[in-house]
Amino acid sequence: MTSTMFHIGGDLGVQRLGFGAMRLPTEPGPDRQTSLAVARRAVELGVTLIDTAHLYGGGANEELLAEALYPYADGLLITTKVGVARSGPAGEWKLDGRPEVLRDQVDQALRRLRVERLELLQLHRIDPELPLADQLGVLREMQAEGKVGRIGLSEVTVSELDQARKIIDVVSVQNRYNLLDREHEPVLTACEAAGIAFLPWRPVAPATTGATAEIAAVAAELGATHAQVALSWLLDHSPVILPIPGTARIDHLEENFAAAHLHLPPTHLDRLNHLSERA
């Protein structure tokens, strides 16, 4: 039976099927009210891992989650990401791993999320213009200061993960990955070997390839949806995978969460496992 729990860093227990908050509208109005309701419904359904980032509205997404969920339920982990800032020539978003920027974004996240410590903080992207040791060094400093509990990475290669692990204890990796997009399979394998949580972003492949016809067929045979099959496959594929599907609709949220209870028989798994080669 597929385990429903994973302990990030060996001690931070979460339900493996989480929620990505990126798609939640944050502007005032009816859409924001729906966003608040979606976040609250996620927790009601048993979600204990919610992913956000400074990039999502320049912190507006973090503020939304705090408005919806503070004071937080016991065991609820809201993880955020830093390292992208409006520091381009015209104020556009760009990778920015300068230590002072990372420190400022962490302090902002603490204030917006109304917490004294970020139990899991991820570097949104490695800034190629700066030494990796400088970027991870400041995160390690804030960990020592008690502002950060655990540190993860996002969109990294096996080589970058290896380099980072010489500087910090990496407990999570957030890379693009789904049933039809398995470019980062080597990174997943490395995470499995080290017991590192792997949070696939874009966990449900867009229905744009011929291979999706097979997913639709499997879904029809099991009385499920395309998204449920894709998420259930991820949960079955590796015990370190923690999918974080995002949506701004309660019905889609409930549909996604039901994937945790979908059983994929071996024959169906075999059919799905070959799809990335055809995509």
Beta strands in the chain (DSSP E): 5-8, 12-15, 19-20, 49-51, 77-82, 84-85, 94-95, 118-123, 148-154, 170-174, 197-198
Q: Residue 72 catalytic?
A: no
- Which burial class, exposed, middle or buried, applies to 197 when counting CB atoms under 10 A from its CB (0-12, 13-18, 19+)? buried
Q: Which domain holds residue 69?
A: 5-206+240-247
- Split into its structural domains, the chain has a count of 1
In a domain, 84, yes or no: yes
In a domain, 164, yes or no: yes
CA distance 276 to 279: 5
Q: Which of 56, 70, 72, 177 is catalytic?
A: 56
Give just the sign of the alpha carbon dihedral 168, 174, 178, 183: negative
Check if the beta carbon of residue 211 is closer than 8 Å to that of residue 241: no
Q: What is the per-residue pLDDT for 209?
A: 67
C-alpha distance from residue 175 to each of 68, 180, 241 (Å): 27, 14, 11
CA distance 172 to 139: 14
How do residues 221-260 score in pLDDT, each as one tens digit? 999 999 999 999 999 999 999 999 999 999 999 999 999 9
Q: What is the per-residue pLDDT for 212?
A: 83
Buried b (16+ CB within 10 A) or exposed e, 33-69: eebbebbebbbebebbbbbbbbbbbbbbbbbbbbebb
Q: Indicate the pTM of the whole model.
A: 0.95
Other beta carbons within 10 Å of 113: 21
In a domain, 276, yes or no: no
In a domain, 128, yes or no: yes
* Backbone angles phi and psi of 265, in degrees to 5: -60, 155
Say which CATH number the domain at 51 has: 3.20.20.100
In a domain, 65, yes or no: yes
Question: Which mean pLDDT values do the consecutive 10-residue runs of the chain (279 residues) have?
Answer: 86 97 97 98 98 97 98 98 93 96 98 98 98 98 98 98 98 97 97 98 78 90 96 97 97 96 96 78
In a domain, 252, yes or no: no
Check if the beta carbon of residue 97 is closer than 8 Å to that of residue 134: yes
In a domain, 60, yes or no: yes
In a domain, 221, yes or no: no
Q: What is the per-residue pLDDT for 275?
A: 87
Percent of the chain surpassing pLDDT 90: 91
Q: What is the per-residue pLDDT for 1?
A: 46
* Closest by CA position to 194, among listed 165, 174, 167, 168: 165
CA distance 73 to 179: 32
